[in-house]
């Protein structure tokens, strides 16, 4: 940390895909999607810049080190007006089911169908939860999955969560993209991610 000039900030090129129903009622459409995308990226980058001490394990002395990467929205070169923000309208694959009957978190069809510059840009798919009325109910917080050269995130949409609420899941899944594993009760080989019981915070009981 005394010589951060030896480790300049690197930029991960990303694009964002807003998956939507054919009638465009399930997610943002442009130009609002452009604004939401930039706010999501702002908060995700802010989370990296303001890296905080871990809550768990209680009493840990893990050093809080500067995070030396950020995200940059990246459109297709040579395509006027391409900001790296895309809206797709497809009733067959617009929604995300994290668990239970019909779960589709590992379904790569949206990536194969709508991915852009998959060899050089990290594609992030922002997907509404299952259609209203389906059971069981989906998680109330944003959830996601890393798929190699893409990330799918469920829970996005005009109503459920403000843009800042996606910074945690984005930063978490990007960690998986670059090789970090969960450290739930096991040692992942990294001293700065000690084993934990898969809780995001502690209570008065510990």
pTM confidence score = 0.90
Give dist(CA 194, CA 206) in Å, integer: 17
Give dist(CA 105, CA 93) in Å, integer: 11
Q: What is the pLDDT along the chain (206 residues), one digit of tens a residue?
A: 889 899 999 999 999 999 999 999 989 999 999 999 999 999 999 999 999 888 777 788 888 889 999 999 999 999 999 999 999 999 999 999 888 888 999 999 999 999 999 999 999 999 988 766 555 555 567 889 999 999 999 876 555 578 888 999 999 999 999 988 887 767 777 777 777 777 766 666 65
Q: What is the pLDDT of residue 87?
A: 97
Give dist(CA 110, CA 73) in Å, integer: 19
Secondary structure of 59-100 as H, E, C letters: CCCCCCCCCCEEEEECCCCCCCCCCCEEEEECCCCCCECCCC
Q: What is the pLDDT of residue 182?
A: 82
Give dist(CA 133, CA 154) in Å, integer: 16
Q: What is the pLDDT of residue 6?
A: 93
Burial 143-181 (b: 16+ CB within 10 A, else e): bbbbbebbbbbbbbbeeeeebeebbbbbbbbbebeeeee
Three-state DSSP class for 175?
A: helix
Rg (CA), the chain: 18
Q: Quick one: which of 51, 56, 90, 85 has its CA closest to 68?
A: 51
Q: What is the pLDDT of residue 168?
A: 92
The encoded tokens of residue 172 equal 């978490």
């Amino acid at each position: 940390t005394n010589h951060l000039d030896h480790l300049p900030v690197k930029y991960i090129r990303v694009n964002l895909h807003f998956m939507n129903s054919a009638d465009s009622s399930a997610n943002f459409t442009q130009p609002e999607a452009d604004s939401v995308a930039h706010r999501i990226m702002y908060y995700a980058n802010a989370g990296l810049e303001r890296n905080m001490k871990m809550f768990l394990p209680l009493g840990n002395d893990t050093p809080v080190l500067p995070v030396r990467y950020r995200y940059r929205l990246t459109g297709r070169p040579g395509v006027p007006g391409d900001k790296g923000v895309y809206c797709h309208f497809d009733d067959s694959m617009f929604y995300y089911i994290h668990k239970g009957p019909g779960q589709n978190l590992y379904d790569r069809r949206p990536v194969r169908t709508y991915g852009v510059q998959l060899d050089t840009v990290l594609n992030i798919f922002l997907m509404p939860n299952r259609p209203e009325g389906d059971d069981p109910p989906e998680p109330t917080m944003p959830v996601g999955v890393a798929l190699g050269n893409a990330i799918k995130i469920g829970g996005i949409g005009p109503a459920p969560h403000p843009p800042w609420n996606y910074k945690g899941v984005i930063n978490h899944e990007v960690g998986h993209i670059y090789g970090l594993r969960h450290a739930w009760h096991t040692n992942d080989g990294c001293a700065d991610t000690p084993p934990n019981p898969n809780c995001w915070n502690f209570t008065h009981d510990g």
